[in-house]
């Protein structure tokens, strides 16, 4: 089998997943080096098939929102790793000038309407985007990415109902990594037939194995095409979160056997075996892709560490209107008040 050289090809999917995996590994290293802004970040290692597969089904002009585990999704949609890493490091060169950090990255130019640390918080934004596309007759789709923890949030069902009722070009994508923080999904939901929930609202609903990136791509392409035609959908992508909820979470709620079994379902290893087994790529070809990703993400770490921190005065930028005077620093106000003559 020969690779077709397109963005949706099996080899390109592997390349995207490897870049995501390596980026996330470097983010973890940045945290250990105490170079990240804040004390919380969440890795998506093990979920690369969802980001690459669905991201490939989207096209320029489409928009999306992510949850607090959204680095890989943004990379799949064309993000610059240097600017992403700088944002996570809290540097001025980041996508949000260092103010968003890991959980609040956004970039309207690439259609990223914003990550969100509130469970399910970004979901309703795609309903608004979809309504805008329909009103302006734009052939675009808006995709909400969220974790399985959001499956118990009312805002999801309100949003799905509105999208179905108004025939909006929207796709809801649940990246089901089996755990909402430390709670396993079958302890949070009596029914795991999440596609049936979506169908009850009038949406198209599917569940796909997230370790098979090509299956994710194919399913997502069908649902995205339907959404463009005014038939919104829901996709649950089953995968396994390799690490704990946050970087400092050692996941004591999972047994060693469960973790070993989950990590054996590695989307990169599965795609590696498929590409070499089908004769699409050799071991050397894939090793070269791996090396390229390592060099790229090493460069992103170096860029982030070397980048300048935001100036203190930039703290108030993007907060007040352009016609408003900047707030007076407390130190100068005290000097003025205390130094005033009676």
Task: Write down the domain spans for the chain.
Answer: 10-338
Bridge pairing between strands 179-180 and 170-176: unpaired
pLDDT at res. 246: 82
Half-sphere exposure of 1 (CA within 13 A, CB side): 12
Alpha helices per DSSP H over 229-311 = 256-264, 267-277, 283-306
Of the listed ranges 204-208, 210-214, 257-261, the one predicted with least confidence: 257-261
pLDDT at res. 340: 65
Q: Residue-wise over 37-62: b if at least 16 C-beta within 10 A, else e?
A: beebbbbbbbbbbbbbbbbbbbeeeb
The mean pLDDT value for 14-24 works out to 97
Regarding predicted confidence, which is higher, 3 or 152?
Answer: 152
pLDDT at res. 277: 96
φ and ψ at residue 179, rounded to 5 degrees: -140, 130
CA distance 194 to 172: 11
pLDDT at res. 1: 43
Q: How many CB atoms lie within 10 A of CB 84?
A: 22
**Band of pLDDT at residue 337, cut at 50, 70 and 90:** confident
pLDDT at res. 55: 97
174 strand-pairing partners:
146, 236
**Band of pLDDT at residue 3, cut at 50, 70 and 90:** low
Would you say the C-alpha torsion 319, 322, 325, 329 has a positive or negative sign? positive
pLDDT at res. 8: 79
CA 124, distance to chain mean position in Å, is 16
CA distance 126 to 114: 10
CA distance 50 to 42: 16
**Band of pLDDT at residue 5, cut at 50, 70 and 90:** low
Strands in the chain per DSSP E: 63-66, 112-115, 142-147, 170-176, 179-180, 183-184, 204-209, 233-238
pLDDT at res. 4: 62
Q: Which two tokens stand for residue 322?
A: 């352009």
**223 and 235 Cβ atoms separated by less than 8 Å:** yes
The mean pLDDT value for 210-226 works out to 98
Q: Which of 91-95, 247-251, 327-331, 334-338 has the highest mean pLDDT?
A: 91-95
pLDDT at res. 338: 87
φ and ψ at residue 148, rounded to 5 degrees: -65, -20
Conformation bin of residue 84: beta by default, left when phi > 0, alpha when psi is -120 to 50: alpha
CA 303, distance to chain mean position in Å, is 21
pLDDT digits (tens, 9 = 90+) for 302-334: 999 999 999 887 877 888 888 888 788 788 888
* CATH homologous superfamily of 10-338: Thiamin diphosphate (ThDP)-binding fold, Pyr/PP domains (3.40.50.970)
pLDDT digits (tens, 9 = 90+) for 95-128: 999 998 888 999 999 999 999 989 999 999 999 9
**186 and 241 Cβ atoms separated by less than 8 Å:** no
Could you identify the residue written with the tokens 């949003």? 159
The mean pLDDT value for 71-87 works out to 96
299 strand-pairing partners:
none
Q: Which two tokens stand for residue 97?
A: 């000038």
- Contacts for 160 with CB less than 8 Å, ≥ 6 apart: 172, 198, 201, 203, 232, 234
CA distance 61 to 115: 18
**Band of pLDDT at residue 63, cut at 50, 70 and 90:** very high
Whole-prediction pTM = 0.91
């Amino acid at each position: 089998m020969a690779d077709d050289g397109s963005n949706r090809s099996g080899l390109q999917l592997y390349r995207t997943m490897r870049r995501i995996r390596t980026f996330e590994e470097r983010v973890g290293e940045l945290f250990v080096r105490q170079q990240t802004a804040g004390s919380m970040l969440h890795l998506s290692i093990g979920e690369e098939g969802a980001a690459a597969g669905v991201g490939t089904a989207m096209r320029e002009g489409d928009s999306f929102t992510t949850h607090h585990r959204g680095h890989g999704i943004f990379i799949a949609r064309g993000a610059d790793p240097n600017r992403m890493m700088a944002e996570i490091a809290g540097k001025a060169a980041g996508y949000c000038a260092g103010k968003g950090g890991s959980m609040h990255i956004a970039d309207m130019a690439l259609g990223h309407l914003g990550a969100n640390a509130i469970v399910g918080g970004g979901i309703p934004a795609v309903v608004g985007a979809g309504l805008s596309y329909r009103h302006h007759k734009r052939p675009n789709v808006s995709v909400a990415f969220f974790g399985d923890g959001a499956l118990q949030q009312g805002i999801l069902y309100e949003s799905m109902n509105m999208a179905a009722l108004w025939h909006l070009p929207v796709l809801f994508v649940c990246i089901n990594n089996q755990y909402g923080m430390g709670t396993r999904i079958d302890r949070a939901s009596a029914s795991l037939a999440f596609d049936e929930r979506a169908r009850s609202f009038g949406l198209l609903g599917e569940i796909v194995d997230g370790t098979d990136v090509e299956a994710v791509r194919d399913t997502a392409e069908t649902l995205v095409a339907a959404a463009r035609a005014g038939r919104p959908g829901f996709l649950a992508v089953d995968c396994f979160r390799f690490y704990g909820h946050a970087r400092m979470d050692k996941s004591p709620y999972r047994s060693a056997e469960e973790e070993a079994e989950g990590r054996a379902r590695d989307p990169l290893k599965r795609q590696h075996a498929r590409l070499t087994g089908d004769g699409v790529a050799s071991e050397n070809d894939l090793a070269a892709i791996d090396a390229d990703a390592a060099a790229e993400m090493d460069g992103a770490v170096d860029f982030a560490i070397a980048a300048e921190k935001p100036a203190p005065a930039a703290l108030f930028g993007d907060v007040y209107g352009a016609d408003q005077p900047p707030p007076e620093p407390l130190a100068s106000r005290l000097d003025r008040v205390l130094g005033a003559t009676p």
